[in-house]
Amino acid sequence: MLTTRQQHCLNGIGIRVWQTRPSAATKAEGFVAIAELQTPIIESLPSQTQAPIIAQPAVQATELKRYELNDWPQLEQAIQDCHNCELAKSCNRKVPGKGSKQADLMIIGEAPGHDEDLQGIPFVGRAGQLLNKILLAIQLDPESVYITNILKCRPPNNRDPHTDEVQACSQFLDAQIKLIQPKVILSVGRISAQNLLKDHSPLGKLRTKNHLLPGKNLPMLVTYHPAYLLRNPAEKAKVWHDMKALHKLLNDAQSHAEH
């Protein structure tokens, strides 16, 4: 049965839950939830899932500066010092990441938005609040995961990242993954997923598969960005399906690590 806390979280996400009598196998898992959408699901995928990953050309051809990124102080200082792309000149604050540095789950989004740019913290505001509710619904403390973005600086007007900007920040994301050593990666949003997987397939297709992060051999799942869900609440039922898959994948990974 869902706990009162889970029911409250799912109500906050906008998903109505009904419960059936669980089977013995389901009771053993201790996680029973069947989610229904309050409004009909829109079958046609939104334009967000269909656009190509990079529409703009790179604007910088100079050699990137490489940093020593062997520990967290080096990494965090390097992010603050970085001027490998033009975004460092236009952003208010760099946004490295937040959460547990021993996390089993690492969540990777696209880039900082307006509120993140002002506060220097990823996933704040309404999108961050929704993400917290989603995590709580699968019995994950938001403080127990690590959350970051592909870019550490906000692109002007929240435009899509340019190729050179993603390349400039890639050493920082690689270092974060290496230092944290998560058991599972969750990519939220089209641009995050397509860049991480080096795959231009629509998000609707990417989220239906289990992936391994290229070069890292890490299990990875893909889902919609919380900010997108705020604009398209009809997709919340799909995210609930993704979260149940994430819950199982994390449990499997943790059980494997224990043995």
CA 247 to chain centre: 14
Task: Tell whether the model's pLDDT for residue 224 goes beyond 50.
Answer: yes
pLDDT in tens, 225-251: 999 999 999 999 999 999 999 999 999
Q: DSSP assignment of 97-149, as one string?
A: -EE-TT-SEEEEES---HHHHHHT-SS-HHHHHHHHHHHHHTT--GGGSEEEE
Say what the pLDDT of residue 7 is. Answer: 67
Mean predicted confidence (pLDDT) in 47-72? 64
Residues 19, 36: contact at Cβ < 8 Å? Answer: no
pLDDT in tens, 168-186: 999 999 999 999 999 999 9
Task: Tell whether the model's pLDDT for residue 26 goes beyond 50.
Answer: no
CA 57 to chain centre: 25
Burial of 8 (0-12, 13-18, 19+ CB in 10 A): middle
Task: Tell whether the model's pLDDT for residue 219 goes beyond 70.
Answer: yes
Q: 1-10, 132-141, 200-209, 212-221 — which is least confidently predicted? A: 1-10
Task: Tell whether the model's pLDDT for residue 98 goes beyond 60.
Answer: yes
Residue 255 tokens, joined: 């059980």
| CATH classification for the domain delimited by 67-258, as one of 3.40.470.10, 3.40.50.300, 3.40.50.2000, 3.10.20.30 | 3.40.470.10
Domain limits, the chain: 67-258
Say what the pLDDT of residue 258 is. Answer: 74
Say what the pLDDT of residue 203 is. Answer: 95
Residues 49, 155: contact at Cβ < 8 Å? Answer: no
**pLDDT band per the 50, 70, 90 thresholds, residue 27:** very low
- The residue with greater pLDDT, 42 or 217, is 217
pTM recorded for the entire structure: 0.79
Burial of 83 (0-12, 13-18, 19+ CB in 10 A): exposed
- The residue with greater pLDDT, 80 or 37, is 80
